[in-house]
């Protein structure tokens, strides 16, 4: 059986595009993922980034859920230092009540923004230090107890929305192991500590009511196309877009092509390109070979794929080709008809 595949949708707003257009594209991507047998689609919390539209993560999840019927949807993740656990329990308890059995809640410790934005969120920089306690407080709010006497989450209490710890370091791996929660490693943009973190998580894992055995989700980029040449052209666009997104923040105009050429060769550019180290690029056969090898390398139980081609049509193509190459089972009914038309 093929390893389960999921998708992290970065909800990109392309140059000249709009948030409304991005939301429509995200609906189409989720519907395609559902039709082609992916396990889940997650959305990440980012703030003050003109190229990403998933800042109101819970709202976006609810919108996508209204336009799909079975696929799991969730946060990959909510940056808990930005929020009180009670508010997140209420938001995701509401989602679980509206869409029972379909909601995931991945939690990260980073602010998901720069320091100025963090201040604009009215949060204390020390909030990250309380992450382990906040995770347990949130878990209690979603269960049948509360760590704050007299305070419960309505909706939220008793929904038991499954929690996932997200991370790119040993800190998150150890916390996920101690709490007996699934661990999702952000190797799609932070590759360096992958094998060490997964080994630590598996070695220190303690069973919990949510999870009897360790479960590792590893992030990996995918650019699948009909030919290797086409895939390489798309991958070059991915590299340039990543430089534009991360080095062009705060600029009124995008970098020119000549400026991008220089930045790609700069130390800052090389550091950003290193973030894409774990990326499958090529034909469906090449992508299948890469993903199977990566899953073994990462000791992963599930892969969460990031299809980063700049245009929505190319991302959908990559999603379809990857599913077919990896032998995912297409859904029945209307979703099967969608898969057949693709």
Answer whether residue 26 shows pLDDT above 90.
yes
CB 117 within 8 A of CB 48: yes
Among 221, 187, 183, residue whose Cα is nearest residue 202: 183
Residues pairing with 72 in the sheet: 40
**Dist. CA 18–CA 60, nearest whole Å:** 15
Place of tokens 């209490």: 157
How many C-beta atoms lie closer than 10 Å to residue 276's C-beta? 19
- Which of 133-142, 195-204, 242-251 shows the lowest mean pLDDT across its residues? 242-251
Locate 234 and state its tokens: 């798309």
Locate 317 and state its tokens: 């193509």
Give the chain's mean pLDDT.
Answer: 93
Residue pLDDT, tens place only, 103-147: 999 999 986 567 788 788 877 777 788 999 999 999 999 999 999
Q: Is the dihedral of CA 68, 70, 72, 74 positive or negative?
A: positive
The pLDDT of residue 278 is 98
Answer whether residue 289 shows pLDDT above 80.
yes
Among 11, 5, 3, residue whose Cα is nearest residue 315: 11
Among 134, 195, 58, 214, residue whose Cα is nearest residue 185: 195
Cα distances from 74 to residues 6, 71, 201, 313, in angstroms, run: 11, 10, 22, 23
- Which of 202-211, 232-241, 254-263, 327-336 shows the lowest mean pLDDT across its residues? 327-336
Backbone angles phi, psi at 39, to 5 degrees: -80, -40
The HSE-up count of residue 131 (CA atoms within 13 Å, CB side) is 23
Mean pLDDT throughout 233-244?
94
By percentage, how much of the chain surpasses pLDDT 90?
83
β-strands 5-9, 72-79 pairing = unpaired
Confidence of residue 48 (pLDDT cuts 50, 70, 90): confident
Mean pLDDT throughout 173-199?
97
Locate 336 and state its tokens: 């099967």
Answer whether residue 236 shows pLDDT above 70.
yes
Residue pLDDT, tens place only, 60-81: 999 999 999 999 999 999 999 9
**What number of helices (H) and strands (E) belong to the chain?**
13, 9
**Dist. CA 55–CA 94, nearest whole Å:** 18
The pLDDT of residue 166 is 98
Residue pLDDT, tens place only, 201-217: 999 999 999 999 999 99
Cα distances from 253 to residues 81, 250, 259, 299, in angstroms, run: 32, 9, 12, 42
Residue pLDDT, tens place only, 293-340: 999 999 999 999 999 999 999 999 999 999 999 999 876 644 445 554
What's the CA dihedral at 92, 304, 31, 340 to 10 degrees? -160
């Amino acid at each position: 059986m093929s390893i389960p595949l999921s998708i992290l949708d970065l909800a990109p707003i392309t140059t000249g595009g709009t948030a409304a257009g991005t939301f429509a594209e995200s609906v189409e991507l989720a519907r395609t993922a559902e039709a082609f047998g992916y396990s889940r689609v997650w959305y990440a919390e980012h703030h003050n980034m003109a190229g990403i539209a998933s800042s109101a993560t819970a709202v976006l999840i609810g919108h996508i859920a209204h336009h799909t019927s079975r696929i799991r949807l969730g946060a990959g993740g909510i940056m808990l230092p930005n929020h009180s656990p009670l508010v997140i329990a209420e938001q995701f308890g509401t989602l679980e009540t509206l869409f029972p059995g379909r909601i995931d809640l991945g939690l990260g410790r980073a602010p998901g923004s720069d320091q100025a934005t963090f201040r604009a969120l009215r949060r204390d920089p020390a909030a990250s230090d309380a992450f382990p306690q906040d995770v347990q407080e949130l878990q209690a709010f979603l269960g049948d107890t509360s760590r704050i006497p007299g305070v419960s989450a309505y909706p939220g209490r008793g929904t038991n929305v499954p929690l996932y710890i997200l991370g790119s370091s040993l800190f998150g791996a150890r916390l996920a192991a101690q709490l007996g929660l699934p661990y999702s490693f952000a190797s799609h943009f932070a590759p360096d500590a992958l094998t060490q973190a997964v080994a630590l998580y598996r070695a220190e894992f303690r069973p919990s009511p949510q999870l009897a055995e360790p479960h590792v989700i590893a992030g990996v980029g995918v650019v699948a196309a009909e030919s290797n040449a086409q895939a390489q052209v798309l991958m070059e666009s991915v590299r340039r877009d990543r430089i534009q997104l991360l080095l062009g923040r705060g600029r009124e105009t995008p970098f020119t092509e000549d400026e991008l050429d220089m930045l790609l060769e700069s130390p800052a550019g090389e550091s950003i390109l290193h973030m894409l180290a774990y990326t499958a690029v090529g034909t469906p056969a090449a992508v299948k070979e890469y993903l199977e090898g990566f899953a073994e390398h990462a000791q992963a139980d599930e892969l969460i794929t990031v299809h980063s081609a700049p245009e929505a049509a190319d991302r959908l193509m990559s999603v379809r080709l990857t599913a077919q190459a990896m032998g995912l089972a297409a859904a029945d009914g209307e979703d099967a008809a969608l898969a057949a038309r693709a």
